[in-house]
Amino acid sequence: MERLPGFRDFYPEPLPHSDVWSADARQYIFEKWRATARRYGFREYDGPPLEPLELFTTKSGDEIVKQLFDFKDKGDRHVALRPEMTPTLARMVAAHERNYRKPIKWFAIPQLFRYEKQQKGRLREHFQLNADIIGEDDPAADAELIALLIDCLRVLGLTAADFVVRLSSRNAWQQFYAARAGAQSDPQKEYRFYQAIDKLERTPRDESTRTLSELGISINDVDSFITGGEPTAELRPILANLAARGMSDFVKVDYHVIRGLAYYTGVVFEAFDRKGEFRAIAGGGRYDNLIELISGGKVKLPALGFGMGDVVLLELLKSRKLLPAFDAGIDVFVMIEDEALRTASLEIIQQLRSAGYAVEYPLTATKSDKQFKRAQELKAECVVRMEKRSGDELAVKARHLKTRNERIYSRQAWSAALESRSPLA
Ligand code: HAM
């Protein structure tokens, strides 16, 4: 039985095949993301992976709607696997925002599903760090969020030579469009225009020229707006704030960015690798009207956030050789050489685990040399075994595999040493 195209199997390392993904590498980036988000004062939330279809059809924009995994459930509800987290977050915040002080700073690492054409950097499922700030319209919030994005990449060893955050403004593009469309501006056309700008770098030039001219806009006009690239009044304080943090090297104003999703309202940004080899590592921006829209006008709160996917990031980290070696070594291998000592050995195994050590042992009767080989394969730091002494007395022998130091404890001394966490020192 094959897995579905665009979906991944995650195996523990060492990987058995080039076609599978590393569960260890995934865990590694999740831990770095979590720790960084917490350092910035963000709290973790989560929501359901399955939502009513209309949560996405009304809010996310055409492109994502075309990519939905949707179906009727057994109760005849039209549902969809979440393609993104932002509408769920908006729904959750609108329902209970009164219980939280503003600004709300939350993060999540959901698995998301989009029926996309499978290609480099794009699959049909991915994990995405989402970090959002709700209830603050000052540009200080934009800068705080972008600083978090930068640090989520820096903690993985990436530098300003590896990636850049391209900062832009949908307001600036709105003004550009309004000045050209004049009074006959129609929201459908305006959204098509944003889509064309979003795809400009990935679309053949003739095709973009044609689409834009159908909308009454010249591609040369678009080009000179992009190359002009002067920071607008809303971008300047963000750049100054990031400069104060020593992060100027990680950002640049770039009006190629406009974002494909329909709900963005103001400042938008995307992170890319500097060499331009990969798709976007992360993307986000302000969506000041979404919570109002989702709550049917009941709750009005400005908001902004970003999503950072695991697929492009893992490809980039691999290509820059920034992933550590994941050899899941254990702390202790408990050998059971005499089956009469299994019961007593199980007791010390559990004692060791309660004390926080990672412990392995043979589940069934096994020859000593095989046990020792297994301890070495598992890269155990220590081997522990019980031994019978004179009479009924038992002793515990602990041996460091690297230093070859060996210590022998009476049963009592062992328990005391474990309490002070020193038996394997
Ligand atoms: P997005 O730009 O659609 O934004 O996705 C954010 C990131 O998720 C992308 O830059 C990319 O790294 C990754 N990604 C998206 N689709 C795929 C895919 N099919 N395969 C692999 N990786 C993918 C959003 O989803 C917004 N909701 C982000 C946001 C949060 N805006 C405000 N708050």
Based on the structure, what is the number of domains in the chain?
A: 2
Q: Does the pLDDT value for residue 370 go beyond 90?
A: yes
Tell me, yes or no, whether 5 lies in a domain.
no
Whether 418 is in the pocket of ligand 1, judged by its Cβ within 6 Å, is no
Whether 108 is in the pocket of ligand 1, judged by its Cβ within 6 Å, is no
Taking residues 103-110, report their average pLDDT. 98
Measured over all CA atoms, what is the biggest interatomic distance in the chain, rounded to whole angstroms?
A: 100
Buried b / exposed e across 218-252, counting CB within 10 Å, b at 16+? ebeebeeeeeeeebeeebeebbebbeeeebeebbe
Ligand 1 midpoint to CA 230 (Å): 27
Clarify whether residues 23 and 159 are in a common domain: yes
**H/E segment holding residue 27:** helix 23-39
Q: Which of 311, 314, 317 should be mutated for ligand 1, with most atoms under 8 A from CB?
A: 311
Whether 265 is in the pocket of ligand 1, judged by its Cβ within 6 Å, is no
Q: Does the pLDDT value for residue 61 go beyond 90?
A: no
> 229 or 422, which is more confident?
229
Q: Does the pLDDT value for residue 202 go beyond 90?
A: no
Cβ count within 10 A of residue 319: 13
- Its domain, for residue 69, covers 10-319
Phi/psi region, residue 170 (left: phi>0; alpha: psi -120 to 50; beta: rest), is alpha
Ligand 1 midpoint to CA 258 (Å): 14
Clarify whether residues 108 and 85 are in a common domain: yes
Clarify whether residues 262 and 355 are in a common domain: no
Whether 150 is in the pocket of ligand 1, judged by its Cβ within 6 Å, is no
Taking residues 295-310, report their average pLDDT. 97
Per the CB < 8 A criterion, the answer to whether 12 and 297 are in contact is no
CATH assignment at residue 124: 3.30.930.10
Clarify whether residues 34 and 131 are in a common domain: yes
Tell me, yes or no, whether 4 lies in a domain.
no
Tell me, yes or no, whether 90 lies in a domain.
yes
pLDDT, tens digit, 9 for 90 and up, residues 141-195: 999 999 999 999 999 999 999 999 999 999 999 889 988 887 666 888 888 898 8
Whether 211 is in the pocket of ligand 1, judged by its Cβ within 6 Å, is no
Confidence of residue 363 (pLDDT cuts 50, 70, 90): very high
Which of 289, 42, 55, 293 lies closest to 147 in space, CA to CA? Answer: 42
The single residue listed with the structure tokens 């999540």 is 108
Clarify whether residues 292 and 336 are in a common domain: no
Q: What angle do CA 152, 157, 160 make, to 5 degrees?
A: 80
Whether 411 is in the pocket of ligand 1, judged by its Cβ within 6 Å, is no
CATH assignment at residue 393: 3.40.50.800
Q: What is the DSSP letter of 232?
A: P
Residue closest by Cα to atom 29 of ligand 1: 306
Half-sphere exposure of 364 (CA within 13 A, CB side): 0
Clarify whether residues 286 and 360 are in a common domain: no
Verify cis geometry, omega within 30 degrees of 0, for the bond prior to 14: yes
Per the CB < 8 A criterion, the answer to whether 306 and 153 are in contact is no
Tell me, yes or no, whether 210 lies in a domain.
yes
Amino acid identity for residue 55 in this structure = L
Q: Which of 29, 107, 126 should be mutated for ligand 1, with most atoms under 8 A from CB?
A: 126
Atom of ligand 1 nearest to the CA of 280: 10
Q: Which of 287, 319, 351 is the last residue of a domain?
A: 319
In the prediction, which pLDDT does 425 show? 64
Verify cis geometry, omega within 30 degrees of 0, for the bond prior to 139: no
CA distance 109 to 93: 17
pLDDT, tens digit, 9 for 90 and up, residues 112-153: 999 999 899 999 999 999 999 999 999 999 999 999 999 999
Q: Does the pLDDT value for residue 422 go beyond 80?
A: no
Clarify whether residues 240 and 363 are in a common domain: no
Q: Which of 319, 345, 365 is the last residue of a domain?
A: 319
Total-model pTM: 0.92
Ligand 1 midpoint to CA 283 (Å): 6
Residue closest by Cα to atom 14 of ligand 1: 309
Taking residues 48-60, report their average pLDDT. 89
Whether 148 is in the pocket of ligand 1, judged by its Cβ within 6 Å, is no
Task: Give residues with Cβ within 8 angstroms of 267, minimum separation 6.
Answer: 139, 142, 167, 168, 169, 170, 171, 234, 235, 238, 285, 286, 304
Half-sphere exposure of 244 (CA within 13 A, CB side): 8
In the prediction, which pLDDT does 190 show? 87
Residue closest by Cα to atom 15 of ligand 1: 309
> 28 or 413, which is more confident?
28
> 391 or 339, which is more confident?
339
3-state secondary structure of 382: strand
